[in-house]
Amino acid sequence: MSNERLKIAVFIDFDNIEIGVKSTLNATFDVGAVLDAIKERGEVVTKVAYGDWKRAGEHSRALTQQAIRMVQRNMTPGGDKNGADINLALDALEMALTHHHINAYVIVGGDSDFLSLVEKLKQYDKTVFVVGGRAFTSVILQKNCHEFIAYENLIGSQGGGRRAPEKGRPASQAPIKQAFPLIRRALKVLIDREVSPQLGLLKSTLLQLDSSFSERDYGVSSFRDFAEKLAEAGFVKLNQQGRSVLVELKDGERESVPEAEAAQVVPPPPPAPAAAVPADGPETAGPPLGQPADAVRAIRLMFEAAPDTVRWPMYVRNVKQYARSVDAAFDERRYGFAGILDLLRACQREGVFRLERDRRGVLRVFPGVLIQRPPAPDLVPAALEAEMVAPVPPREIGTGDADQLAGGQPPPAVVDPGAAGQEAVAEPGAPGPEADAGPVAVKRGRRRRAAAPRKAGSAPKAASPRARTRKKASA
């Protein structure tokens, strides 16, 4: 089911659900308990009930208090058995085509005639819930909706005063071990998808596999309590990661499986001769090849000889794909493992791999201490490296070198300091002669920058008349 918030439309076949609850559960139909359970799954935007309200008695008042729109079913002389079913189906389909913001529909009733409506709503990409009693709701309807909500669980969680227990049938709950095969199957699906087995994802996967699943059948009121009960029984282990709780199978869970399920874990017998097996038949594990330690040893040899192009870390499917690329006949089940994850955990215990989860909870595989390669040797010889990093000794610069560096040009001329008796004073903080911009002199409160050096081969600039007059006066 989608992670978006559900906007739900509720359609109630009142006559069907009221008669079914009264005849099979010996109880009075409580519409409030049904709406409370639906509100836990999303926002209820509309509620419609179909029935003959002339004979409903006090139920009409209860539905009015819940703001449920009541549609009258007019009885015909022939009985009109399916009149409410047809009106309900037509209104639900009309709403699915005209109100696109409504993405979930709840059908309260157990008539198998609603199966066609359920299938059509699923084709329109709508989430479909069915509320009814297990005893009077069609099994086909329970299995084909997205989630079946058992009315027995709803009234059981509301308190003990609403349902009269049946004679000769003490209150009981299903043993937790009956749910383990479904739990193991759902965890395997999440592992194959490489998705972290969080509580919410696990429950949605369980409902995809069996829409009639409910944790309340096992005596708990929430799915977290159900997971804790499984952990107490030794079937799974719970890992707290931040605000999320991950559910994982224990390494030795195969020893805890009931005898009826243990037969499924035994390695299959050798297959029939090749001539009797069709070429397009299902893939089988084949005859056993050795012990689990042999599989760990084979995996270690594969990855020790892996080329440098193998990139770490890997995902679970990448490890299996690489093992199949090296040995096309490799199958972990032929060594006694139930799946690739069991093999990876055995490799982790032996130091071949290291398993970690990323921020999303996806399992990643890192090389262990046994297959980690040393760093590549340095290919540069030590003598060459010393020569490359050796400092160059300073060399004295002679007069010829200075002329060569300067391009054969005399040093830049300094501005005449001015009249006699006045000396040029360098401005504090001004750059010296070695700066790129040249020296700066101060004369009569004005700043002057020295002339740029002349290019090689250019004639000296003639002195101005004013400069020649100053030179004669100073002489």
Is this structure's pTM higher than 0.85?
no
Out of 3.40.50.10860, 3.20.20.140, 3.40.50.2000, 1.10.10.10, the CATH code matching 176-262 is 1.10.10.10
Which pLDDT belongs to residue 37? 87
Which pLDDT belongs to residue 78? 57
DSSP string, 273-284: PGGGS-TTSPP-
- Do 176-262 and 285-367 come out as alike in CATH topology? no
Crossing angle of the two packed helices 199-209 and 223-232, in degrees rounded to 10: 90
Which pLDDT belongs to residue 162? 43
Taken in order 379, 380, 383, 385, the sign of the CA dihedral is negative
Contacts of 262 (CB under 8 A, 6+ apart): 254
Residue 449's φ and ψ, nearest 5 degrees, are -100, 140
CATH of domain 285-367: 3.30.420.610
Query: Cα–Cα–Cα angle for 163, 168, 174, nearest 5°?
Result: 70
- Residues of the chain short of pLDDT 70, as ranges, are 1-4, 75-84, 156-173, 251-286, 359-361, 373-465, 467, 469, 471-472, 475
State the residue for tokens 């791999």.
353
Which pLDDT belongs to residue 94? 93
Which pLDDT belongs to residue 377? 55
Which pLDDT belongs to residue 201? 84
Is the bond leading into 313 cis (omega within 30 degrees of zero)? Answer: yes
- Residue 279 and residue 285: Cα distance in Å, rounded? 15
Residue spans per domain, the chain: 7-157, 176-262, 285-367
Which pLDDT belongs to residue 240? 81
Out of 3.40.50.1010, 3.40.50.2300, 3.90.45.10, 3.40.50.1820, the CATH code matching 7-157 is 3.40.50.1010
Which pLDDT belongs to residue 218? 86
Residue 88's φ and ψ, nearest 5 degrees, are -60, -45
Strand segments, DSSP code E, in 165-225 are none
Burial class (CB in 10 A: 0-12, 13-18, 19+), 402: exposed
